[in-house]
A = this chain, B = another copy of it.
Amino acid sequence: MELSSKKLEKAVNEMAQLPGIGKRTALRLVLHLLKQPKEQTQFLAEALQNMREEIKFCNNCNTLSDNDICEICANPKRDKSIICVVEDIRDVMAIENTGLYKGLYHVLGGRISPIDGIGPSQLSIFPIVEKVKAGEVKELIFALSSTMEGDTTNFYIYKQIQEYSINVSTIARGIAIGDELEYTDEVTLGRSLLHRIPFEMSIKNA
Residues of A that sit less than 8 Å from B by CB:
1-8, 10-11, 13-15, 17-21, 25, 27-34, 38, 40-55, 58, 63-66, 70-72, 89-90, 92-93, 96-97
Contacts and interface: CB of A to CB of B under 8 A. Distances in A.
Contacts of A7: 47, 50-51, 54-55, 66
Contacts of A50: 7, 10-11
Contact of A45 (B20, B34, B45, B71): B45
B72 A4 contact: yes
Given A28-B19, A49-B42, A34 B64 contact: yes
A4 B64 contact: yes
A4 B49 contact: no
Nearest to A24: B90
A11 B50 CA distance: 8
A163 B44 CA distance: 50
14 contacts: A1-B93, A3-B64, A4-B63, A5-B51, A5-B55, A5-B66, A8-B55, A11-B50, A13-B47, A14-B40, A18-B33, A19-B32, A21-B29, A33-B52
**Stoichiometry, copies per complex:** 2
Dominant secondary structure of chain A at its interface with chain B: helix
A51 B8 CA distance: 6
A8 B19 CA distance: 18
Nearest to A58: B4
Contacts of A49: 41-42, 45
A48 B18 contact: no
Contacts of A96: 2, 4
B5 A65 contact: yes
Contacts of A27: 90, 93
Contacts of A93: 1-4, 27
Contacts of A55: 5, 7-8, 34
A38 B53 CA distance: 7
Contacts of A54: 7
A-B pairs, 5 with minimum CB distance: A45-B45, A41-B52, A11-B51, A14-B47, A14-B44
